[in-house]
């Protein structure tokens, strides 16, 4: 099975409600889809969103990195040489992690198709079902409480509350949500770089002292402020999770050695795809540091890959934040991964099992 061509398309899916964090507001998913064709007629699919504020990747940079740099380096290569292919992809260009993730996802899809097995089995197996949390966007308190109640009614047992806008209001937001759903849902907070280290310690201690139980608090301070992350981790009881602060395996090692966080959030768009995500999960497992699997605003192609990966590393990936497809008005992708609100299941279809993508707009480039 040799690579014969790589094509590009765009996929747009409207969100149910606007996605609001301390960094941005988004009303639809609009992602680059990468289609890898082979001489056996098998097709592999990958996906990457533009997340300029976090990874620096834009639609243009994703397409250009693959079209100009990665594509010429892997055309004609044999899919069976997976390790060689991922090595070429990772070393072909610095950074550009989302571009690398999109192409790696398609390559892994094909590699699993080659052996006629679902991807998670090729990655080592596991129990093919997960339960994801759902994001509650930062908003007026009443709206956040209403969104939280609605999510619980739909069967979500874990809510990821976006905060990081205004410290006083953030504390009130969390207290109000906790009062409304504490008996039926676990709360995670994501401050998306929105606080200073001292503000974070103040807010988390205030919440802890008033009896609010938090499963974890994600990325309270700036991505490059590892000292700030460490300062907070040392001073609060609630586990602190690194998201924007850690991308690849080396950063994870540094973070763990510094004890700058208790939990690592792995996202394929930060690691540059599955090969580095595997390394990170294994490093974290070696140090007994729990991981979350997360996603950007992605639809059910790249999130399907994250699902397969997370199932295969369930020994250390104990927290699932793969709500991209649940935030969409509909799922445009028919694949081997079924997203049904909080419940995610995988069928026995080979690879990612992608059969159809509704509304795919091919790019003539
Ligand atoms: Mg986050």
- Model confidence at 22, pLDDT cuts 50, 70, 90, reads confident
What is the 8-class DSSP label of residue 43?
E
Compute the average pLDDT of residues 357-363. Answer: 97
**Cα(218) to centroid(ligand 1), Å:** 6
Q: What is the per-residue pLDDT for 97?
A: 98
Rounded Cα distance, 130 and 280, in Å: 20
Distance 224 CA to ligand 1 centre (A): 14
- Over 90: is that where the pLDDT of 301 sits? yes
What is the rounded CA–CA span in Å between residue 66 and residue 83?
Answer: 18
Per-residue pLDDT, averaged over 327-351, amounts to 97
* Farthest CA pair distance, the chain: 62
SS3 286: helix
Residue 244 CA, ligand 1 centroid: distance in Å: 7
Report the candidate in 9, 49, 3, 6 with the shortest Cα–Cα distance to residue 26.
Answer: 49
Ligand 1 (ion): which residues have CB within 5 A?
190, 218, 243
| pLDDT confidence tier of residue 305, bands split at 50, 70 and 90 | very high
d(CA 175, CA 161): 11
CA of 219 to the centre of ligand 1 (A): 6
Cβ-contact 57, 75 below 8 angstroms: no
Confidence of residue 11 (pLDDT cuts 50, 70, 90): very high
Share of the chain above pLDDT 70, in %: 100
Torsions phi, psi of 312, nearest 5? Answer: -75, -15
- Ligand 1 centroid to residue 41 C-alpha, Å: 38
For 211, phi then psi, to 5°, come to 90, 5
pLDDT of residue 254: 96
Cα of 182 from ligand 1 centre, angstroms: 22
- Residues carrying an active site annotation: 162, 267
Tokens of 227: 């000292």
Considering the chain, what is the average pLDDT of its residues? 97
Domains defined for the chain, CATH in brackets = 3-116+358-363 (3.30.390.10), 121-356 (3.20.20.120)
Average pLDDT of 11-39? Answer: 94
d(CA 108, CA 90): 14
Q: What is the distance of C-alpha 362 from the center of its chain? A: 25
Average pLDDT over residues 242-253: 97
Give the three-state DSSP class for 207. helix
Residue 165 has pLDDT above 90, yes or no: no
Average pLDDT (36-59) is: 97
DSSP bridge pairs for 321: 294
């Amino acid at each position: 099975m040799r690579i014969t061509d790589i094509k590009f398309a765009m996929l747009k899916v409207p969100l149910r409600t606007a996605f609001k964090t301390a960094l941005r507001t988004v009303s639809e998913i609009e992602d680059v889809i990468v289609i890898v064709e082979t001489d056996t007629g098998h097709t592999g699919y990958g996906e990457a969103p533009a997340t300029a504020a976090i990874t620096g990747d834009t639609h243009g940079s994703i397409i250009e990195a693959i079209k100009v740099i990665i594509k010429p380096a892997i055309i004609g290569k044999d899919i069976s040489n997976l390790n060689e292919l991922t090595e070429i992809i990772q070393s072909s260009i610095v950074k550009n992690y989302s571009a690398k993730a999109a192409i790696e996802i398609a390559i892994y899809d094909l590699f699993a198709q080659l052996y006629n097995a679902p991807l998670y089995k090729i990655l080592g197996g596991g129990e093919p079902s997960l339960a994801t949390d759902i994001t509650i966007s930062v908003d007026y308190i009443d709206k956040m409480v209403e969104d939280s109640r609605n999510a619980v009614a739909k069967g979500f047992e874990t809510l990821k509350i976006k905060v990081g806008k205004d410290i006083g209001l953030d504390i009130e937001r969390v207290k109000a949500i906790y009062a409304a759903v504490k008996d039926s849902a676990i709360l995670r907070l994501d401050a998306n770089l929105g606080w200073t280290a001292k503000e974070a310690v103040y807010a988390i201690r205030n919440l802890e002292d008033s009896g609010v139980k938090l499963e974890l608090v994600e990325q309270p301070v700036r991505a490059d402020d590892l000292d700030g992350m460490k300062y907070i981790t040392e001073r609060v009881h609630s586990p602190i999770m690194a998201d924007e602060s850690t991308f690849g395996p080396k950063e994870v090692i540094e973070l763990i050695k510094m004890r700058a966080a208790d939990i690592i959030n792995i996202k394929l768009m930060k690691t540059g795809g599955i090969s580095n995500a595997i390394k990170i999960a294994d490093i974290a497992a070696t140090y007994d540091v729990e991981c979350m699997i997360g996603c950007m605003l992605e639809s059910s192609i790249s999130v399907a890959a994250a699902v397969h990966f997370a199932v295969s590393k369930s020994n250390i990936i104990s927290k699932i934040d793969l709500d991209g497809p649940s935030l969409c008005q509909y799922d445009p992708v028919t694949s081997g991964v079924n997203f049904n609100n909080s419940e995610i299941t995988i069928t026995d279809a080979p690879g990612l099992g992608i059969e159809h993508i509704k509304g795919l707009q091919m790019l003539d480039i």
